A and B are shown apart, each in its own frame.
Chain A
Amino acid sequence: MQAKRRQLSDRNIMVLFITPTMIILVLMNIYPLFYSLYLSFTEYSVISSTAPKWVGFQNYLAILSDARFWKHFAITGRYTVISVALQMLVGFSLALLIKEKFKGSGIITTLILVPMMLSPVIVGLFWRLMFNPSYGIVNYLLGFRNINTSPEWLGDPTLALWAIIIVDVWMWSPFVMLLSLAGLSAIPDYLYEAAAIDRAGPWFIFRRITMPQVMPLLLIAVLFRTIEALKQFDLVMGITGGGPGDATETVSVRLYREAFQGQFDTGSSSALAYIILIVIIAISNLYIRQLNKVREG
């Protein structure tokens, strides 16, 4: 028996270890990926007992020619740009403040990180209470004491998206801060010492030393946050449910409504999922190219 075991070559051992992973990967990732790609070209409902019916590019054409799809993409785009930009600003500013060690800086850093450790759905529900014009703390802190004139954050189409952005910035700026801190702490001290000897001003030091050194990590933060923002679902569902009307309906919420919630239009929702995937891959590639340029530069 032992003699037989010795006969296992390195290659066989490798195959033995890799095969279970490959099987799981194929079953859980590759197969659903290709099956959903096939479904995106069919008319099919997962809850129906009828087989998928091939319709070619009809689902894609229907989605791309639907004005509401572009409206939802515009909402998602606006949300992504504003939210990620604010997260960068707040996160990086916090990192610059926290970078210097002071008494209690450890505890403060930990406390700042707490929001990103919470469940987005719970965060959404809590903020919904805080945005409530009757008893929420947001209007109170903003100085609105008269309930008749207080803004109704979640019921006003012009404010609802901003409400979600505020929560997203509150939740994910600490992530940007964390990456920025890593970048800031990796900058060699001799660069600052040399700049000080040359009597460089703070703005010059920030622009010519700090920013270029931190930029690769900032771009990674932008990449991660952009991908997450483009997929935003849980916060929206927790705070506004996509309303008022569809004023905050991101493409992911739209996808959820089509794929589930009484509609179960699996063919069309698969096509929508692939469109979202292509957009995310395209934007990610642009970022990665930029990142590589910064690294090489």
Chain B
Amino acid sequence: MKQIFRRLLIAMVLLITSLGFAQVNELTIWWAEWDPANFLQQVANEYEAATGIKVNVVQEPWGSYFDKVAAEWAAKGDAFDMVVGDSQWIGQGVTEGHYVDMTDFLVNNGIKDTVTPATLTYYGEYDGKYYAYPTEGDANGWAYRKDLFENPDEMAAFKEKYGYDLAVPETWEQLRDIAEFFTRPDAGLYGVGVYTQVDYDAITMGFENVLFSYGADWKDADNNVLGVVNSPEAVAAAELYKELYSFAPPGTNNAFFAEMNDLFINGQAAMIMNYFAFFPALDNSEINPYRDSTGYFPMPKGPTGERYAALGGQGISINSYVSDERKQAAYDFISWFAEKDTQARWAELGGYTCNIEVLESDTFLNQTPYNAAFAETMTFVKDFWNIPEFGQLLEPSQRYLHAYIVGGEGTAQEAMDGMAFEMDEVLINAGIIKE
């Protein structure tokens, strides 16, 4: 009897073990704590209904999200199968072996061609290979008060002062004029709200919308920064951003996405910049009293007609430390998630798809008042550095921009010179460029 029981027990253990290795019944995705992660969980529930594989989207507050993922990476842990990571993380994820190379998967299955090229480049590409599927597309755009812009008296006054019609700005110069026009401190109204927060990357992200559109960049093709970051175009961009800040409500010296929406909702700003991911709040009449007269537009053009928008958003990557079975299960999920119908559903729930067909569909374009601007924006996004040293490059950028734009210290040329010099040092120390 004892022998039979023992054999049964061994057989059961073997069965359970073999089942465990052969079949993956549950997958874990890590993402930051925000609405898109809830939408992803809803999509994932539909995957479970279709395949029986449960997918848990584990959310971590933004403030500690990177720390948590980084700690797991350092431990080579398998607490998550997939991670929806920031575009800036990709350098570290790749060079230190945390991300699985998804090039063959994305190319051979035709998934690569389903998303806008810019999103694949910035969310997924590093050194010519792909490591993430663009999941939550996001970038900076603008919200504006249509009631002010379409007011006949305002329109007449604007035309008289500036010589052209008041309308959605097509260039940064026009945006500057409109901001100046609506700046009326006595009435508690200001022209714009722009990112100024010094803590992490906000002022850099806000500024680079202008920087790129003015024909400047963070680097040249050989990764040089001297003569690039402090080029005349970059200096002109810094001067314009500072001018815009002078048309922002007083007290917005450390402002990011939450403050932008607050300014708009409180009726303090005629236009605000923000990531599209935060515009759904403005489309809610319980939150935004100007909801019915709120319009949205993409980034305007620079002096030479170029236009770019600072990239937000994230791509989904597979953890290289999980078993091959789990990797395959993660591939299967991403493959399903990348299908057009799933992407349409993702967009319907509120996720910002990067799928070209969905972005161009009438259903998507008319789904919300900001989707058209979003779809247009996702064709001209651009990003900051994404190499492992991005944090060291970000620090001088934040410091010099904040000191010049908010603190009024020195000139734009001095700020950009100082920034370029320090960035150059970081790149030399990292061996990316030679002295």
Contacts and interface: CB of A to CB of B under 8 A. Distances in A.
Contact of B391 (A241, A243, A263): A263
B340 to A, nearest CB: 35
Interface string B395-432: 10001101110111100000000000000000000000
Interface in A134-150: 134-136, 147-148, 150
A247 B67 CA distance: 27
A77 interface: no
Contacts of A157: 403, 407-409
Given A247-B403, A263-B392, A46 B251 contact: no
Nearest to B263: A134
Contact of A134 (B73, B251, B406): B251
Given A245-B409, A263-B392, A49 B76 contact: yes
Interface string B69-85: 01101101000000000
Given A47-B73, A147-B185, A155-B407, A245 B250 contact: no
Interface string A222-247: 00000000000000010011111111
Contacts of B70: 46-47, 264
B29 to A, nearest CB: 20
B198 interface: yes
A136 B71 contact: no
Interface in B197-214: 197-201
A76 to B, nearest CB: 17
Contacts of A135: 251
A132 interface: yes
Interface in B75-100: 76, 88, 92, 96-98
Contacts of A243: 198, 253-254, 402-403, 406-407
B250 A152 contact: yes
Interface stretch (A34-42, A78-86, A254-262): A254-262
Nearest to A160: B407
A245 B73 contact: no
Interface string A252-286: 00000100111111000000000000000000000
Contacts of A155: 250-251, 253, 406-407
Nearest to B76: A49
A159 to B, nearest CB: 10
A156 B407 contact: yes
B409 A244 contact: yes
Contact of B251 (A132, A240, A246): A132
A133 interface: yes
A262 B390 contact: yes
Contacts of A156: 407-408
Interface string A49-71: 11000000000000000000000
Q: Which of A132, A155, A241, A246: most chain B CB closer than 10 A? A: A155
B302 interface: no
B249 interface: yes
Nearest to A254: B395
Contacts of A131: 251
A245 B399 contact: yes
Nearest to A155: B253
A2 interface: no
A257 B250 contact: no
Contacts of A133: 250-251
Contacts of B250: 132-134, 147, 150, 152, 155
Nearest to B74: A47
Given A155-B407, A245-B399, A48 B96 contact: yes
Contacts of B200: 261-262
Interface in B299-336: none
Given A244-B253, A245-B404, 4 more contacts: A131-B251, A156-B407, A245-B400, A262-B66
9 contacts: A46-B71, A132-B251, A244-B198, A244-B407, A245-B198, A245-B409, A260-B67, A262-B66, A263-B391
